[in-house]
Amino acid sequence: MITDGVNDSGGGSGEPRLTGAYETWTYGRGSAYAALAVPLAEARFVPAVMTLPPGAAPEDLADQPTDGETGRVLLPVLWKGLARRAQTAVPWPVLLDFGEPQRRGPLDAGIVNRQLAILTGPILASTNRTQPNFALNAPLVTGTVSPAVRGSTAIAPDPRVLAKVNRTGARLTVMAVIDDGIPFAHRNLLNEAGDSTRVEFCWLQSATTNGNLLFGKEFTRTDIDALRTTHGPDEDAIYHQAGALEETDGASATLGHFASHGAHVLDAAAGWRNDGADLDPLRVIAVQLPPSVTIDTAGYRKDGAVLAALHYIFARADEVALAYLGDADANLPLVINFSYGFSGGPHDGSDPLEVAIAQMVAARKAQNKPTTLVMPAGNSWADAMLGQIAPSELVVGRPFHVPWRLQPNDATSSYLEIWAPATGAPGTYSLALADPQGRAVATGANLVFTTGPGGAPVKADLSMSGAVVGQVDIAPFNAAWTRARIALAATEPRDPTLPAAPSGQWSVSLTRTGGAAPTGPVSCRIQRDNDPYGYVRGGKQSYFDVPDDERHTPDGAPTRIENPPRTFVRRFGSVNGLATHDQVTVVSSHYADTGRATEYASAGPLSPVPGAPGAVSVSMPADASTALRGSLAAGTRSGSAIRLSGTSMAAPLYARRVALAHLDSAIPLPQVQPLKAPVSQAEDAERPLRLGQALAG
């Protein structure tokens, strides 16, 4: 039986809730809707982010003895440049081994919490019983994991590149890409002579392990060159022998498709162009995330894999510096393109993964190593996924009704987050839900909560006709926010025997019942639920359905401006929820022919301030025109090309510009300033988002 992980410890007292809101749904009531590649009855290895209390190090928990039933913490490649035992909480990527399934039972939330409580015993004993926090991903296929890691060998430098660095003073630079469907044998990634790849390292996180890394498979430049020598231009044979097409984590192998998101992004960022630029000193490090991360657009499965990817990139960049410059601490420029994101989160830089990413980038910069992280603004400007409730609308005793429309034929869960700001004094609220027929949804608990760090967590199932169709989880997120997360089951589950949440307009009612009024707006954010490029999972995007959401201009064109002030649905603030910290360059998009903003690109705050969380920094021409959408870059096989549109395609165009400036001292590094979307029809027509307005030099 799948349980909720709170009161299932046998004695009824419950174990510490170390997993978060999304985990309690996916590893509990909602597991049947999650389309996990590894059934929980067979799951053993789970990537995660472990946030340790001050003074603790990840090595304190690593490789504890196991009896096959009790779990253990395994460590992937960790960058040596991030300080251990810091005086602040530090997140680390880990791989959790929950033991042999046949000795443990299905990996539900109850087992997860009990094992985490055991694992954290040594830390609790040494840090005044401050609990570590865990954010879990989807389980990995057992064959992708190698607990007995051999470790990769040191790389030998490409002699031609070494000669250029020593003879001509070429500035060695690393371009790192984290994405899906990485074509590491593509000819656009070869050196000028065409006899060796510029890809120094490539990590396929969900491929069958070769023992070099804790999970997945690593290829060095020597490995890739050997594959090309054996198979020549037959890239199908290369990827088959490499195992890049075989282990797909339960999804179709995107590298087997004509095109992939990662192929387009990698080529745009680092692929050869007939523009006279010498790209030989531009060395490439690529990480292909598991399909389970890419396919989950809500973003909960991402943290462990993404943070492990960044540690790997930083560590391997140091190895490139050692091989070519003779010093792992040399000031080797590193440009990272990460064209991923999600629509949820606090949007103030305090998401735990954002905190971890910002810590790493800042630490590398502090070591005098130029580091640029580039991310897209997002594509949800006009998708009605952000709503805001003004403090004046939260009058005591008067409910505010949030109209949340679920689409029919949705095979995936839908998620809504409500972010209530903390105040000097607590505020009290109640939450209620009604289905599209106006019927109250039974919860089995009174959904009353208090904002602020001292608020007690609230968790309840949502039931209709005795069947659980959703879950509410309310808890303090940090000192600044209290988050209510609502999960609703698929409206048309893949398994027709499962309960379905009715499609139509649900009503989520938030009522302030007393206490202090909020000091700022309460933000309501719907998580992305569409099918990412290259995947078909049956996701249908839910949205806020309000009549005064002006999605089109009078002539029928999609709008590029904000709604009237009192409209619940907002567009400013819809920026990528993973790119709202101060260590990232956020890239928007415009049409190349007119310079006008695209109608899909998300925006940051209405009045961005330099360095403010979520400020969009620059716009790049990701679309040729409104008639010819997208920009052209490589498909998965050499000689192929495809047009793809979106801010994910704009980001690598900017990353490439930064890399070229590092390579050639005659090209100035671009200086960016906050860039905002048009705020009126007149401004939309008169103030194009041209590149020159956002980049100096």
Which tokens hold the place of 29? Answer: 């009531």
Name which of 615, 620, 617 is nearest 581 in CA terms. 615
Which tokens hold the place of 215? Answer: 């999970």
DSSP per-residue string spanning 523-587: EEEEPP-SPPTT--------EE--TT---B-TTSPBP-SPPPTT-SB--BT-S-TT--STT-EEE
**86 or 354, which is more confident:** 354
Name which of 656, 691, 93 is nearest 337 in CA terms. 656
Name which of 427, 428, 470, 433 is nearest 448 in CA terms. 428
DSSP per-residue string spanning 327-338: -TTS---EEEEE
pLDDT digits (tens, 9 = 90+) for 628-647: 999 999 999 999 999 999 99
- Domains and their CATH numbers in the chain: 21-139 (no CATH), 159-340 (no CATH), 386-544 (2.60.120)
DSSP H or E stretch at residue 695: strand 695-696
Q: Is the pLDDT of residue 8 over 90?
A: no
Q: Is the pLDDT of residue 12 over 60?
A: no
pLDDT score at 281: 95
Name which of 114, 126, 7 is nearest 71 in CA terms. 114
Residue with tokens 């599209």: 436
Rounded mean pLDDT, 292-296: 75
Phi, psi of 463 (to 5 degrees): -120, 145
Beta carbons of 354 and 303 less than 8 angstroms apart: no
Rounded mean pLDDT, 273-285: 92
DSSP per-residue string spanning 454-467: TPPPEEEEEEETTE
Q: How confident is the model at residue 669 (pLDDT cuts 50, 70, 90)?
A: confident
49-53, 175-179, 491-495: lowest mean pLDDT where?
A: 49-53
Q: Distance between CA 598 and CA 582 in Å, rounded? A: 25
Q: How confident is the model at residue 1 (pLDDT cuts 50, 70, 90)?
A: very low
Contacts for 536 with CB less than 8 Å, ≥ 6 apart: 252
How many CB atoms sit inside 10 A of residue 661's CB?
20
Instruction: Please give the angle made by the CA atoms of 461, 527 and 397, to the nearest 5 degrees.
Output: 60
Listed in sequence order, the DSSP H helices in 188-333 are 221-231, 235-242, 261-270, 291-295, 303-325
pLDDT digits (tens, 9 = 90+) for 543-552: 999 999 988 8
pLDDT score at 165: 84
pLDDT score at 247: 53
- DSSP class of residue 26? I
Strand, helix or coil at 630? Answer: coil
In the chain, pLDDT over 70 holds for what percent of residues? 89
Q: What region does 506 belong to: left with phi over 0, alpha with psi -120 to 50, or beta? A: beta
pLDDT digits (tens, 9 = 90+) for 195-248: 999 999 999 998 888 888 999 999 999 999 999 999 999 999 999 999 888 655
Residue with tokens 């490139």: 320
Which tokens hold the place of 229? Answer: 């020598």
pLDDT score at 554: 83
Q: How far is CA 76 from CA 71, 95, 200, in A?
A: 16, 7, 19
Name which of 450, 545, 448, 564 is nearest 506 in CA terms. 545
How many CB atoms sit inside 10 A of residue 192's CB?
14
pLDDT score at 531: 78
Residue with tokens 């649905």: 569
pLDDT score at 114: 83
3-state SS, 84-145, equals CCCCCCEEEEEEEECCCHHHCCCCCHHHHHHHHHHHCHHHHHHCCCCCCEEEECCCECHHHE
Instruction: Please give the angle made by the CA atoms of 586, 182 and 620, to the nearest 5 degrees.
Output: 25
Q: Distance between CA 476 and CA 457 in Å, rounded? A: 7
pLDDT score at 15: 37
DSSP H or E stretch at residue 175: strand 173-179
pLDDT score at 610: 59
Beta carbons of 89 and 53 less than 8 angstroms apart: yes
Q: How confident is the model at residue 695 (pLDDT cuts 50, 70, 90)?
A: low
Q: How confident is the model at residue 11 (pLDDT cuts 50, 70, 90)?
A: very low
Contacts 24+ apart (CB under 8 A), 461-464: 461/4, 461/29, 462/433, 462/486, 462/488, 464/435, 464/439, 464/499, 464/501, 464/502
Give 267's Cβ-side CA count (13 Å radius): 28
Q: Is the pLDDT of residue 7 over 60?
A: no
Strands (E), 412-454: 414-421, 427-434, 448-450
Q: Distance between CA 380 and CA 386 in Å, rounded? A: 9
How many CB atoms sit inside 10 A of residue 391's CB?
16
Q: How confident is the model at residue 3 (pLDDT cuts 50, 70, 90)?
A: very low
Q: Distance between CA 47 and CA 117 in Å, rounded? A: 17
pLDDT digits (tens, 9 = 90+) for 427-477: 999 999 999 999 999 887 789 999 987 888 899 999 999 999 999 999 999
- DSSP class of residue 25? I
Strand, helix or coil at 203? Answer: strand
Q: Distance between CA 664 and CA 662 in Å, rounded? A: 6
Rounded mean pLDDT, 34-44: 84
Q: Side by side, which strands form the sheet with 173-179?
A: 217-220, 199-204, 282-288, 173-179, 334-338, 371-376, 585-591, 618-623
Which tokens hold the place of 126? Answer: 């040494």
Q: Is the pLDDT of residue 10 over 60?
A: no
The pLDDT mean for the chain works out to 87
**449 or 147, which is more confident:** 449
Q: Which of 8-22, 25-39, 355-369 is modeled with the greatest confidence?
A: 355-369
How many CB atoms sit inside 10 A of residue 194's CB?
8
Beta carbons of 174 and 332 less than 8 angstroms apart: yes
Q: At what angle do helices 235-242 and 221-231 cross, to 10 degrees?
A: 130
Q: Is the pLDDT of residue 249 over 80?
A: no
Q: Distance between CA 622 and CA 644 in Å, rounded? A: 8
Instruction: Tell me whether strands 641-644 and 671-672 are parallel, antiparallel or unpaired.
Output: unpaired
DSSP H or E stretch at residue 661: helix 647-663
Q: Distance between CA 671 and CA 697 in Å, rounded? A: 7
Name which of 619, 593, 598, 599 is nearest 608 in CA terms. 619
